[in-house]
Structure 1
């Protein structure tokens, strides 16, 4: 059985992410694994000559497990209220471990062979943050699995149209095929979005598009795939416009080591985007293949 991982820091945003993960799990017939990574308190780290007392460790672990149980109970109530006898009832489990979010998540993805990690776009204020902080940037940089980032308050719990941002690279074709396995249970449309500036050759561009779409059609057996060309001053602003005005419920893209993606995830635009984006962002690793949701 498939298991979706939900890292949480018990913030409001993380709770929204968990509820969205449950929504996905119902349709994908998957279970949920709530995970929390707790850390050694700063005062204990400062006392390098002494080990962290076992009693303190047990107390922090107990507190973490208590909070996870509360979140699990909330989700189980939603589980009961939103499913019928014919629906798949997702099983919800919890894991709390000492360490960092990235290492814990990667280990559990391997353990459960999870197809997806779902987490919040922002964390708990002065506590460690999941996105726009070092933890989620590190996770995305090192992930060999898809990571879905959920805004503080998703505008909808419907998945009718997914936009996939592409530069028409041949490696994207297999990812679109993988995206079909996410879209199909929802009967969602997949919008292939290619952003260019005004300085492009229409004839050469159309040739690339035709070849790309021909390969997509032969690879992905799904009749709800469409294409849209978006002209903008740059890719950054084009994706911003698409997330706001494209009438989409999710934006998917590939984390490639190029300046545009680095700016989107790490630069100042991310801070601006996070203030108004209200749709999930699905991030594929650059070497992803044979992903099946």
Structure 2
């Protein structure tokens, strides 16, 4: 069965990710898999035996099981009377490089969605590159959609979703993911666009957006549309999300395109670093 993957570093934000991931797993009819990846090169000051690695893995497995139960079970308890539809909760500990290992897990066919802490949300006793590196790697190069939670996030519910887009065509390529999440969360839905091109392009882009809204499979049948004035995309979206009290900001990014590096540098990376609201990042390719 498809699952939601929650990478855990035992920080407060990964506790929030477990709660939110459990909530989503229940309402989206998915299983939940909590994972912890430890790097033996960081965990030990010197080369250790296979037995020591196995002992460390057993210790972390017990810690992960306890942590997962502490933060997932209270969420499941709120669904009393629906015990037959509760998600299966799995845990697993891996040894290796956290960014690489979690990216591989995100590429597995059974992984529907990743929910994790964003950049700057990791445990303070980890080196600064460790969990921030995972968030950046999965957010920009993961194999499936990912929700990144900012530091201090605690609420497992979302009342208002904003779907940001540049070219209206990309809405079609992310509709399957966004529609399923919107159907589960039932939030107020907004589409937001930061003007960047000529007036003729912007007019055609808006007309195309409105035509897409009439087609079956559009992310939401009810929505509002906000067109923001020209300006730095990341800065405009960050201010918009804060001022409009957005509970989840949806972004797409193109993978393996000629414009990927420029797009990631100018738009997605600043949002990953500075967003005060959860981000849903949906990878887009020409094959979507």
Q: TM-score, normalised by structure 1?
A: 0.83
| Correspondence for 2:135 | 136
| Correspondence for 1:52 | 48
Q: Does the 8 Å contact 1:5/1:34 carry over to 2?
A: yes
Q: Does the 8 Å contact 1:253/1:284 carry over to 2?
A: yes
* Separation in structure 1 between the aligned mates of residue 252 and residue 12 of structure 2, nearest angstrom: 27
| Deviation string, structure 1 residues 128-155 (Cα, Å, up to 9, x no partner) | 5588732322233331211110122336
Show structure 2 runs of 5+ residues with no match. 255-259
Flag the 1:246–1:118 CA change in 2: closer, same or farther, 3 A.
same
| Correspondence for 1:244 | 242
Alpha-carbon offset, residue 206 of structure 1: 2.3
SS at match of 2:179: helix
| Correspondence for 1:64 | 60
* Separation in structure 2 between the aligned mates of residue 81 and residue 117 of structure 1, nearest angstrom: 22
Partner of residue 95 from structure 1, selected from 87, 92, 96: 92
| Correspondence for 2:12 | 12
Which moved further from structure 2: 160-169 or 149-158? 149-158
Matches within 5 A, 1:79-158: 79-86=75-82, 88-111=85-108, 113-121=110-118, 122-128=121-127, 133-154=132-153, 156-158=155-157
Q: Does the 8 Å contact 2:22/2:72 carry over to 1?
A: no
* Separation in structure 2 between the aligned mates of residue 168 and residue 196 of structure 1, nearest angstrom: 10
| Correspondence for 2:229 | 231
| Deviation string, structure 1 residues 104-126 (Cα, Å, up to 9, x no partner) | 32443454611101110221124
* Separation in structure 2 between the aligned mates of residue 187 and residue 65 of structure 1, nearest angstrom: 35
* Separation in structure 1 between the aligned mates of residue 214 and residue 177 of structure 2, nearest angstrom: 13
Q: Does the 8 Å contact 1:79/1:89 carry over to 2?
A: no
| Correspondence for 2:179 | 180
Q: CA RMSD in A?
A: 2.7
| Correspondence for 2:161 | 162
Alpha-carbon offset, residue 33 of structure 1: 0.4
* Separation in structure 1 between the aligned mates of residue 5 and residue 114 of structure 2, nearest angstrom: 5
Which moved further from structure 2: 104-113 or 225-234? 104-113
Flag the 1:191–1:43 CA change in 2: closer, same or farther, 3 A.
closer
Alpha-carbon offset, residue 182 of structure 1: 0.9
* Separation in structure 1 between the aligned mates of residue 150 and residue 262 of structure 2, nearest angstrom: 23
* Separation in structure 2 between the aligned mates of residue 29 and residue 130 of structure 1, nearest angstrom: 34
Q: Does the 8 Å contact 1:37/1:99 carry over to 2?
A: yes
Alpha-carbon offset, residue 230 of structure 1: 1.1
Matches within 5 A, 1:260-271: 260-266=263-269, 271=273
Show structure 1 runs of 5+ residues with no match. none
* Separation in structure 2 between the aligned mates of residue 282 and residue 288 of structure 1, nearest angstrom: 19
Alpha-carbon offset, residue 289 of structure 1: 6.4
Q: Does the 8 Å contact 2:57/2:93 carry over to 1?
A: yes
SS at match of 1:22: helix
SS at match of 1:85: coil
Flag the 1:232–1:246 CA change in 2: closer, same or farther, 3 A.
farther
Q: Does the 8 Å contact 1:253/1:283 carry over to 2?
A: yes
* Separation in structure 2 between the aligned mates of residue 130 and residue 82 of structure 1, nearest angstrom: 36
Which moved further from structure 2: 137-146 or 159-168? 137-146
